[in-house]
Amino acid sequence: MQREVKFAGFGGQGILTAGKFLAEVGMEEDKEVAWVPSYGPEMRGGTAYCTVVVADRPIGSPVVNTPMDLVAMNRPSLEKFEPTVKAGGFILVNSSLIPDRVQRDDVIEILVPCNDEAIKLGNNRGANMVALGSYVACAGVVNLDAVLAHVKDAFARKPQFVEANLACIRRGAEIAKEQMAEAMA
């Protein structure tokens, strides 16, 4: 098994953190992982994306031009990276910020209102955690419980953020499972 995903959006959306958490959980589960971040020079508002590879065998190259999956957190990311996703993969769209639909019929489209759900849960900065939970539920590359445990550890020094982030991950997974069930029906 080898699965590649590109998380993409604006700087400040927690794109790199979501990808890094996925890679770290993969390592905790004794999988082979690669995490390659890329971002513009701006602190917030510039482009940010990362590629994560999770595999059960050695990874030949961390450079991925055609990922199996895409998590697009803003419209420019969807427009730029949609054509690069492999046929048969899926594109998770942050429908809170992207009114467009995926233009391809050879991938599965998953619409998750990441920002709206995070705000409903009282976590204005938790859209990335909604997206992470959604991705894990769709791809199944790591165990969702392991992601939840990792988030508890990652925010151990900031306990006021733990429950809000866990709620976002759980909600993202719930929405994505519903969407995947509909897409497969």
Residues with Cβ within 8 Å of 10's Cβ and at least 6 positions away in sequence, in order, are 44, 45, 46, 47, 48, 73, 74
* Number of domains comprising the chain: 1
- The pLDDT value recorded for residue 119 is 95
- The pLDDT value recorded for residue 156 is 80
- The pLDDT value recorded for residue 42 is 55
- The pLDDT value recorded for residue 41 is 62
- The pLDDT value recorded for residue 40 is 66
Residue range 5-24, pLDDT digits in tens = 999 998 888 899 999 999 99
- The pLDDT value recorded for residue 69 is 97
- The pLDDT value recorded for residue 43 is 56
Q: CATH number for the domain including 176?
A: 3.40.920.10
- The pLDDT value recorded for residue 180 is 78
What pTM does this model have? 0.92
Contact 138, 92 (CB under 8 A): yes
- The pLDDT value recorded for residue 174 is 94
Contact 47, 76 (CB under 8 A): yes
d(CA 184, CA 172): 18
d(CA 183, CA 148): 26
Enumerate residue ranges in the chain where pLDDT < 50: none
Q: Which domain holds residue 162?
A: 2-184
